[in-house]
Every structure is written in structure tokens, then in C-alpha cells.
Amino acid sequence: MGFKKVSAVIFTDKGNGSAPPYDLPALIEYARQLDGIKVVWKINELPEFNTQHMAEKIKENGLNYLILAGELPGFNKTFFDHAMRAAGQNPGAIGLACFREYGIISREDSDRAKAVLYCAAKGIRFDQVAIPNETAVHPDTLVIGAGIAGIQAALEIANGGQKVYLLEKSGTIGGHMAMFDKTFPTLDCAACILTPKMVEVGQHPLIQLLTYSELKQVNGHPGQYKVTILKKARRVNISTCIGCGSCAEKCPATAPSEFDALTALRKAIYIPFPQAVPNKYLIDEKSCIYVDRGKCGVCVKVCPVPDCINLDEKDEQIEITVGNIIVATGFKIFDARRAEQFGYGKFPNVITSLELERLVNAAGPTGGGIHFRTKDKRDNWIFSPENDQPKSIALIHCIGSRDKNYNEYCSKVCCMYSLKLAHLIREKLPGAEISEYFIDMRAFGKGYEEFYERIKEEGINMIRGRTAKVEQVNGQLLLRSEDILHDRLLEQKVDMVVLAVGLEPREDADNLSKILGITCSEEGWFLESNLVSDPVTTYKGGISIAGVCQGPKDIPDTVAQASAAASHVLQSIINGKVRESIKDLSLQYIVTKADHFVSTEEGQP
Amino acid sequence: MTMRINPDLPKELKKYGKGEWNECFHCGTCTALCPLTENNNLFPRRSIRLLQMGLNDSLTVNVDPWLCYYCGDCSKSCPRDANPGELMMSLRRYLTSIYDWTGLSKRFYTTHFWEFGMILFLALFVISLFVFVLPPLDPTLNAAGGVRINQFAPVDLIEIGDWIMAIIVASLLISNILHMYYMVILKDKSIKIPLWLYFKEFWLLIFHFVTQLRFSKCDTEGKKYWLSHWLLMSGYTVMFTVIVVFLPWFQTEEVHPLYHPQRLLGYYATFGLLFGLIVVMIGRIRKSGEKFKFSHFSDWFFIIMLILTTVSGIMVHIFRINGMPYATYYTYIAHLAILVPMIMIEVPFSKWSHLAYRPFAIYFANLKKAAAA
């Protein structure tokens, strides 16, 4: 064989702005000492987009093979194709070492980055040699988070005949979807879809509910995870409580209701909402007087079931063994106080979309009416059905999303839910003036554009141009914005402003990722194996992700992804094996395999 | 009407300032936030749009950049970090180079070579005039103990030089303003301005030139910088008028008492210049606020030349009244060797021209508004 490969490695990440996430100097060192590598360049050392100059460089060094390495090196391939052709070389002789494809996102992944680079230098695909081992799988599954994603995944697996533990941090399953009034674009009632599923979960013989519990620790390996779970003290015996409600009636302590997005009050002993599963009471230790001062105990006195309420109950830990884990922890909404210019937290009638969602809900604090926020006798800000109703409402899109000052990404659901809310406001307040201030209207799904057209016909002002600031003038709210499609400044006075807040990773996502050994993206969403072709599994074997914890998405997508995650789990249970993570493969192992691969390939005619 | 598109416009504008203007996705936050923008002159977003689309002609008709005083609120709140405020600043530089029919302004703004070359050339020219034309140095003092400055640099000769310089600078500047008038008013066929409006709106031109009141309308930064900007502007104008128009009255051998208007005016102008310059300089060094975050080299050139002029002027004054002949003569030469290139470059071609363009832009914008009403 007269052909000898003379290659150059080109690192394609410019690193202007922020440094690449991997250890660039170490990789450059590694690339230098590899076989057949003549030069190593960073892309900013090369002539920018000048094919002729690049071709001269290729000729100068006598190169016949190029390796582009970086986060997404394929972006630059065309340019080097042309340069290779101009230099009289085979334009196809370009290998890509794509780091992002193999989840190299931090300095800890240096060894894998080197392995990817090694394979590219050898001219073989990384996934041809980096095949992880398979181990026997335990048939039980843990689903973390019991929102719509967790519920769907748990049901799919349990209906497939396998045992599922469903872990939930709060006192009830249901998650954010239970708080919504309607779903877009069909305007189905959210509860009508969700509650039957919740009941099914609650009654399913193969699903063990672990509500009011948290994940503490995960040991073991893919297929055999030993999971420690903290069961927080509910202080009410879940098996004897009959849900009569006499305790809550007499309980003297109140706190804002999390389920009602803090728009109403609940007692310290409470059921989050009437359709909760399990439909049993629990005591919130933060607001309970007994927990705080050691005396009260009114609930114990009025409870008709003996020994049902135990105010001194302590947290306990349990340990379970599972083969697969599905993470479906969801999101939190953007804290609108951070965007001061919109006046949330300063002006009482600037409210978030989630608050409005509770207001328009017939089971919400106002019984479905939209009313102003006022202070009650005890200085709590609440919405009461006795308050006046607004005559004009403005919805502002993209609060905390698509904004480099907060989150750069699009939260994907806000345009559609704002349209839905506009429709619901129109339904509740037929005479009201409703305006939507948006940057771009992202109605991207099946039936969504049609939904947008429908809402426009309902007499809602659509204004292109996000509002710059909201001020309070004589009790009304003044919005200042640029009406971009009509080239004019706009000042509008309205009675109520609804902020379409974006979605953010939960505060505990980072901690959870450490416990599980999976990674988070820069924004804090859990990182999938491949954004396009494998958005469900992670780099850790036996751990899948579903729902918004992987990235913003709407309910249909969440349900679909949850089912996909369940199918991954069922697949591994049926095979009896689970693939370990490619994270566990050593550099030496891949190098040996790659060398072996090359020698057997070359031996063939 | 056909529109000509210049796809290289964004690239070209990068030479006049820094900014990620392609990042803008047109949410309108900047315009809605701007305290100065009005319905007929919407900025800064509209200008970004024109730039992104490469509409040269629409950009040159547009006087919006001159209506902005760069408080930086728009850049601070921009969700894309697209620096709309810096775009307005860069467009002012760009428009200055467009209004200038000689093409020199463009060269000064975009190449260091031309700028420094021209400074050096003019400085050497001034020095050589002193070396070849003027009489030898005379170390004797006059009766009052002052340096005999008018023996060394006869005031009538200097005044002739002054007038020559003033005429060159003025004719360049006036022709540039006429060019601006042509581009902004005459080329804009959509509007007809009756003659009487020119007289009716003229007082606004004077008013804005003298008060700079629009600047104080800027919400936060404007209130902070209006005074220093006004002191700098008025100090410069006073000094310029005095040394060009009233030189025989200003450059005297006689040492006047402190309360004499000659000294009072001189001290006021010096104070205004120094105060304004120090505020700007500290701001630019610390990069405090959006206004001073990005400094084009022409900004530094302007500050450094002006501060050297001021300091050398102060030194001439101190040496002269304290009877130090040689020091006076040398600093006097240095003073002129800095002053002449500064005025020749800055006034018609560079940053100082905004002194004229800005009031005229407001005047033209008001004319258009009144004509449309």
C-alpha cells in the first residue's frame, strides 16, 4: 500500500465569547502525538473562508486527510471540502470528531473526547467501536416525578405488566397539568384528561405510589440501582385517613396554597385539591403551629379515626432496588420578579399566566371568575370573587424567555397558552378588551396555526412588539411598546396585565443530576443522548428522561416522550439486559478496539 | 420606486463601531423605552432594520441617529445584546462620513494611517512656518514683566492664519451641511417644505445649539451628563470664537487684572473644557455605563487632542504672565501644532462636526414634521 495518510487536526470551536466546555489544551496535546498527524490548528489560526489560502496551506503541509474536531464541526465541513478540492485532494477525505454528539460537555469527559478524536484519526466511526457492555436488568422501575410525564410513563410500564415505583415530592400526583384549566389547541378540560389517569395510577396494583418523598441516593450500576428514598413525615396515616375534612375545618393555621399558584389560602392540614391522589390529608410542617411551637393539636382532637394523625411522626428512609429509572421532574415557572420592568410583585394586578390559569378554573379560588387582586383582613394578597372585574387585559409574551438577560431559549409553550388564555378571558369577560403583545407568534404544531387564526377572529388585538415596561398610573396599568407592524409607538392603559412566564429547570435539577450521575445542559435541562435521534435516553445506562425536564415542551410532546421512555424500559426488561453507559468505557479500551477494527478492515480485500 | 440594496452595509458599518446588530429580532423594546423617540422618528429599532436590509438610501435620508444622545437604556435592556445604542453612535460616525463630500472623513474614520498621517503633516507644517517664516526668539520681557509674545508671534500674522484656517474649515463644514440638506430634505421626494417653515422653525436650531436641552430628557444618564456635556460644548465654542474672531483682543502682551473679561472668558472656557473632558475620560477608561462601554479610536483621538490643546494653552498662559520667554515660545508652537490639526480634522470631518449636524438634524426633522402636519 503506497498511500500514507498525512492528516491535520483542526479544532473548529472559535472560543470567542466563552471557552469550549471540553479541555482544549489537553486535546491539542493529545492530537499532536497521534500517529500520522502532521499539524494541529485552531480554526481562528486559519484564513477565514478563503478557500484558496486554505488550499495553499493544505499543499504546503502535503496533507491528504483532515480531521475537524469540535462541538459541531460539521458546520465547517463544506469550506474544507472546497479547500481540499482546490488543493487537488479528495474532498471526501475529511473526518469529523463531533464532541457534542457523544455528550462531551465538560472537562471530566476529556478521555471520551480523546477517544472520539482517536477514532476520527483512524477514519472510523466512534459508535462502531464504543459499544458498552450489557448487564442483567432488575424488572422494577422507578419513575421520578408524578406529573403528566411520570403518570404516563408509569401507566405504560405497569400496563405492560411490570412493577413501577412512582416517586413524587409533593403530597399529590398530577403536577403542573392538574393546575391548568384547558389544554390547547383542542380546549379540552385538563382535569378531564388527567384525573382518570391519576385515579388509574392510584388504583393500579403494579404501581406503588411514593408521595411526599424525595430521592436521596442512588448506588449500584445500570440494571441494578439501589435507591434510597426519604419519606417525609406526612403526619397523617394514609391508610386510615377517611378524608372527612373535619381537621382542616378546625385548623387555625393558614398558608398560601401551592396548588392554586399562591392565589388563595389553605390550612396547615390539607388536601392539595379535591381530586388529589392519594386523596388523603397531610400536614405542612412549615405552617403547622404544633410543629413550630409544640402545642395546638386541634386536628388530633377532632379527628374521628383513632391514631390517624400523629403529629410527632418522623421522616423515614426506605431502600428499593430497580433496574431502570425514568426522570420526569418537570419545571418551575420563571420568577417574574426578576424582570422588574414589568412590575410583577410591585403592582397587584400584574399577574402570571399560572395565576390566571387558576383564576379561570372553575375549581379555582374565584370559582372561574377573573377578579382583581386585593389584600384581605390579615394582609394576604388574594383574589376574591367579591372583587371587581377588569375591563381590559393585556398579555405580554416572552417573559424570561428569548432574552439574554434571563434565559436565551424559547420556552415553546407560552405563545400557545397565551392564545388559549386570551380565549378563556373572552369566554369569562365577553365585553373586555384583550390585547396580546408578542415578538413572534410560534404556533408550530398540529392544529396550532388554525387555533391562532381562530383566536384572532375572536376580536383580540394582536400587537407585534413586546412591551418595554409596565407602570401604574391612577390604579391602571400603562404599557409602553412599539407596534412594529404599524410603525408607531403605543401606550395602552389596561386594568390587568398577564405575564406569559417561561419555563425554567427546577432548582433541584442540578442536585438530582449529581445523585443520578447524569448531566445537565448549560441551561440546566437534563442532557439527552442525542437531541435529534435519541431524545429520551441519557449517557447513563438505564436512566431515561421524559417531559419538560429534558427541555421545554407542551403536553402532547410530553406524553409522547413519556411513552417513548417507557418503551425503552420495557425493551430492556423484555431483553433482560440493559446497556451500560458509554461513560464507563476507558480510553484504552476504545483505542484497542479501534486498532483491532482497523487491522481487520485493512486485512480484507 | 426602486430600492437599491447593499448587502455589505452591515460589514461596512462594523468599521465605525462595535455591535452585534444582526442579533436583533425586532421586539421593539429599545424604541418603546427611548425617552426621545417620537412617532415620525422611531429609533433605534427602525435604523437596525434598515441596516440589516442594507438600505443605504433610507439610512442616509434618516436623521434619527442625530436625535439620540446615547443614554444607553436601550442597550441595557436589549434581550439580544444587540447594542442598539452603539448602533446609533456608529451611524453618527457613518453619516458624518457620508455627508462629507470630499471622502476624507471616511478615511479618517476607517484607517489609522490617514488620521495620524494628516495630524503629522499639519503639525509639521505649523512648526515649519515658525522655523522658516518667523523672527528669532527674543528673551527680553516687557515693562509689566510679561513675555513679548506679539514680538515672537505677531498677532496680525497669526490672525491671518486663523482666518485662513477658519475659512477652510467653515467652507468644508458648510458644504457638508448643504450636502446633508440635499440628502435629507431635497432627495426625499415624499415631502414638500414651504419656504416660510424654514424661518418659523429656525429659532429651534439656535435653541438646541445653545441649550442641548434634549439631552436632559434622557432618563438616567442624560441628567447625569447634560451639565458636563454643556460645559464642554460652551467652553469649546467660547474658546473657538475668541481665538479665531477676537484674537487681537485675546492674545495680548499686557497682563490684564483677574476680573478683566479677557481672562474671565478664558478661564471659563478652560474650566468647561477640562471639566467636560475629565468626566468623559474617566467614563471611557472605566467603561462606566453603556454610553462609554465602546470607544472607537476617533473618540480617544478627540479626547487626547483636545486635552493636549487645553493643557498646552494653559501652560502658554502661565509661562507668559510669569515671564518665562523660552518656555512660552516653545509651548506656543506646540500648542498651535496640536490645535491646527485638531480643528482641521475634527470640525469638518470627525467628531466635532456633530456640533453642527445635531442641531441641523433636529431642525430638518422638525421641518419634515411640520410639513407633514
Q: Is B77's Cβ below 8 Å from some Cβ in A? A: yes
Pairing of strands A332-333, A503-504: antiparallel
Cβ <8 Å between B28 and A481: yes
pLDDT of residue A17: 58
Query: Is the CB of residue A439 less than 8 Å from the CB of residue B25?
Result: yes
Of A407, A401, A405, residue with least CA distance to A438: A401
Crossing angle of the two packed helices B354-372 and B221-245, in degrees rounded to 10: 110
B333-336's contacts with Cβ under 8 Å and 24+ in sequence apart are B333/B126, B333/B127, B333/B130, B335/B309, B336/B126, B336/B130
Cα-based distances in Å from A292 to A253, A259, A287, A314, A469? 11, 23, 8, 15, 42
pLDDT of residue B274: 93
pLDDT of residue B1: 60
Q: How far is A406 from chain B (nearest CA, A)?
A: 8
Identify from A438, A441, A469, A489 which residue to disrupt to test chain B contact, counting B C-beta atoms within 10 A and taking the largest count. Answer: A489
Q: Which residue has the cell 392519594?
A: A278
Cβ <8 Å between B79 and A467: no
Pairing of strands A324-327, A543-545: parallel
Write the pLDDT tens digit of every residue in A555-592. 999 999 999 999 999 999 999 998 887 777 888 888 88
Cβ <8 Å between A484 and B29: no
- Tally the C-alpha atoms within 13 A of residue B108's C-alpha that lie toward its C-beta: 27
Q: Which residues contact B27 (CB under 8 A, 6 or more apart)?
A: A398, A439, A465, A466, B79
**Torsion, Cα of B147, B153, B157, B160 (10° steps):** -90
pLDDT of residue A605: 39
pLDDT of residue A481: 94
Domains, chain A: 7-130+585-603 (3.40.50), 333-503 (3.50.50.60)
Which phi and psi (to 5°) does residue A519 adopt? -115, 155
Pairing of strands A488-494, A476-483: antiparallel
Which chain A residues contact residue B20 at CB under 8 A?
Answer: none
Integer Cα distance of B264 and A18 in angstroms: 55
Of B312, B234, B310, residue with least CA distance to B272: B234
Integer Cα distance of A473 and A497 in angstroms: 13
Q: Which residues contact A105 (CB under 8 A, 6 or more apart)?
A: A21, A22, A519, A521, A527
Q: What percent of chain B is predicted at pLDDT more than 70?
A: 98
- Report DSSP state, residue A535: S
Q: Is B295's Cβ below 8 Å from some Cβ in A? A: no
Which phi and psi (to 5°) does residue B344 adopt? -65, -35
Cβ <8 Å between A488 and B80: no
Q: Is B39's Cβ below 8 Å from some Cβ in A? A: yes
Nearest Cβ partner for B33 among A439, A440, A468: A468
pLDDT of residue B334: 92
Would you place residue B129 in the very low, low, confident or very high pLDDT band (cuts 50, 70, 90)?
confident
Q: Is the pLDDT confidence value at A602 over 80? A: no
Q: How far is B31 from chain A (nearest CA, A)?
A: 6
Write the pLDDT tens digit of every residue in A452-491. 999 999 999 999 999 999 999 998 999 999 999 999 999 9
Residue type, A94: I
Number of H helices, E strands in chain A: 16, 32
**Torsion, Cα of B315, B318, B322, B323 (10° steps):** 40
Write the pLDDT tens digit of every residue in A234-260. 999 999 999 999 999 999 999 999 999
Integer-rounded Cα radius of gyration of chain B? 22
CB environment A517-536: b (16+ within 10 A), e (fewer): ebbbeeebbbbbbeeeeebb
pLDDT of residue B199: 86
List residues bridging with A73 in a β-sheet: none
The count of other CB atoms within 10 Å of the CB of residue A221 is: 15
B211-219's contacts with Cβ under 8 Å and 24+ in sequence apart are B214/B36, B214/B67, B214/B69, B214/B362, B215/B69, B217/B35, B217/B36, B218/B35, B218/B36, B218/B69, B218/B71, B218/B73, B219/B35, B219/B71, B219/B73
Strand positions, DSSP E, chain B: none
Q: Is the pLDDT confidence value at A603 over 60? A: no
List residues bridging with A37 in a β-sheet: A7
Integer Cα distance of A580 and A553 in angstroms: 28
Query: In chain B, which residue's Cα lies nearest the Cα of A402?
Result: B79
Average pLDDT, chain B: 88
Cβ <8 Å between A405 and B42: no
Cα-based distances in Å from B193 to A336, B63, B197? 49, 16, 7
Query: Is the CB of residue B97 less than 8 Å from the CB of residue B56?
Result: no
Indicate the pTM of the whole model. Answer: 0.85
pLDDT of residue A1: 41
Would you place residue A16 in the very low, low, confident or very high pLDDT band (cuts 50, 70, 90)?
low
The count of other CB atoms within 10 Å of the CB of residue A203 is: 9
The count of other CB atoms within 10 Å of the CB of residue A198 is: 24
Would you place residue A494 in the very low, low, confident or very high pLDDT band (cuts 50, 70, 90)?
very high
List residues bridging with A578 in a β-sheet: A135
Write the pLDDT tens digit of every residue in A119-142. 998 888 888 888 888 889 999 999
End-to-end CA distance of chain B: 24
Cβ <8 Å between B32 and A482: yes
Identify from B20, B31, B41, B78 which residue to disrupt to test chain A contact, counting A C-beta atoms within 10 A and taking the largest count. Answer: B31
pLDDT of residue B226: 85
Q: What is the DSSP secondary-structure string of B247-259?
A: HHHHS-SS---TT
Element (H, E) at B309: helix B297-321
Pairing of strands A94-98, A141-144: unpaired
Write the pLDDT tens digit of every residue in A425-462. 999 999 999 999 999 999 989 999 999 999 999 999 99
- Three-class SS state of A406: coil
Number of H helices, E strands in chain B: 20, 0
Cα-based distances in Å from B329 to B7, B138, B150, B309, B323? 54, 9, 11, 15, 11
- Three-class SS state of A485: helix
Domains, chain B: 9-99 (1.10.1060.10), 107-372 (no CATH)
Mean pLDDT over residues A351-363, rounded?
A: 95
Strand positions, DSSP E, A211-251: 213-221, 224-231
Identify from A404, A484, A488 which residue to disrupt to test chain B contact, counting B C-beta atoms within 10 A and taking the largest count. Answer: A484
Would you place residue A15 in the very low, low, confident or very high pLDDT band (cuts 50, 70, 90)?
low
Cβ <8 Å between B33 and A402: no
Mean pLDDT over residues B149-170, rounded?
A: 86
Q: Is B18's Cβ below 8 Å from some Cβ in A? A: no
- Report DSSP state, residue A311: T
Q: Is the pLDDT confidence value at A604 over 60? A: no
Write the pLDDT tens digit of every residue in B24-79. 999 999 999 998 898 888 999 999 999 999 998 889 899 999 999 888 889 999 99
Q: Most distant CA pair in chain B: distance in Å?
A: 74
Residue type, A9: V
Query: Is the CB of residue B184 less than 8 Å from the CB of residue B357?
Result: no
Q: Is the pLDDT confidence value at A215 over 70? A: yes
Integer Cα distance of B94 and B92 in angstroms: 5
Cβ <8 Å between B31 and A403: no
Of B65, B63, B69, residue with least CA distance to B44: B65
Integer Cα distance of A332 and A506 in angstroms: 5
The mean-pLDDT minimum among A55-64, A226-235, B130-139 falls in B130-139
Integer Cα distance of B309 and A245 in angstroms: 86
Length reported for chain B = 373
pLDDT of residue A573: 96
Q: Give the burial class of B8: count Cβ atoms within 10 A of its Cβ; 0-12 exposed, 13-18 middle, 19 or more buried.
A: exposed
Would you place residue B170 in the very low, low, confident or very high pLDDT band (cuts 50, 70, 90)?
very high
Q: Is B80's Cβ below 8 Å from some Cβ in A? A: yes
pLDDT of residue A415: 96
Which chain A residues contact residue B78 at CB under 8 A?
Answer: 404
